[in-house]
Amino acid sequence: MHTAAGVEACLPIRSDMDLVWVRQHVRQAAARLGFGLVDQTKLVTAASELARNTLVHGGGGQMAAQHVSSRGSQGLRLAFSDEGPGIADLELALSDGYTSGGGLGMGLSGARRLVHDFEIDSAPGSGTTVRVTCWVVRPPRPREGV
C-alpha cells in the first residue's frame, strides 16, 4: 500500500476521451492508496471537473499524479496544468455559479469542496495550474472558514 507504482503518472488532457483516462487513473490510484468508496468518488469527481477545465478553458494540458505522505498519512496529489489564457480574477472564478464556459459554474468551486487541500496558480497569459490533495486519514486541519 506504500508503493508509488500505479499511482504516479502524467497523463495528457487533449480530448474528452482523455477525461475518461484521467478518471480511471485517479480511481485506481485512490483505491490503491486505501481511500474509502466515498472519498474515491469525491476525488474522481474533482479530477473530472478540473480536467475538463484544463481541456475547455486551458485548451488542453496535462495531469500529474503523485503519492504524498505526511506524518503517517497517505495522500494523493493531482496537478492539472495548461498553457491557456489563464484566469484574470481568481476570486470570481472560484465563486459558486460563475461560469465562462456554459457549465453550471460549479467546476472550480465545487472541486475545491471535494478535496482537502486546494491551490491555484494563474495569471493572464501564463496558463493555469491547479494542485489538489486528498488524505486517506485526514491530518488535523482547521475547519475551513472560506
Partner 1 sequence: MSDAYSGPVTGHVPVLRLGDVLLVTLQGDLHDSTAQQLQQDLAETVSRTGVRGVLIDISGVEIVDSFLGRVLAEIAAQAKLLAARTVVAGMRPAVAITLVELGLTLPGLGTALSTEAGMELLSQQAPSRPGGPRQESP
Cα 100 from Cα 14, distance rounded (Å): 19
Residues with Cβ within 8 Å of 85's Cβ and at least 6 positions away in sequence, in order, are 57, 58, 59, 124, 125
44/76 with CB nearer partner 1: 44
Cα 4 from Cα 86, distance rounded (Å): 31
Residue 17 identity (one-letter amino acid): M
39/82 with CB nearer partner 1: 39
Minimum distance from residue 121 beta carbon to partner 1 (Å): 22
Minimum distance from residue 25 beta carbon to partner 1 (Å): 12
1/37 with CB nearer partner 1: 37
Chain contacts with partner 1 (rule: CB under 8 A): 16-17, 19-20, 23-24, 27, 37-38, 40-42, 44-45, 48-49, 52, 96, 103-104, 106-107, 109-111, 113-114
Minimum distance from residue 112 beta carbon to partner 1 (Å): 10
96/119 with CB nearer partner 1: 96
Minimum distance from residue 122 beta carbon to partner 1 (Å): 20
HSE-up of residue 137 (Cα within 13 Å, Cβ side): 5
Residue 4 — φ and ψ, nearest 5°?
Answer: -85, -10
Cα 101 from Cα 23, distance rounded (Å): 21
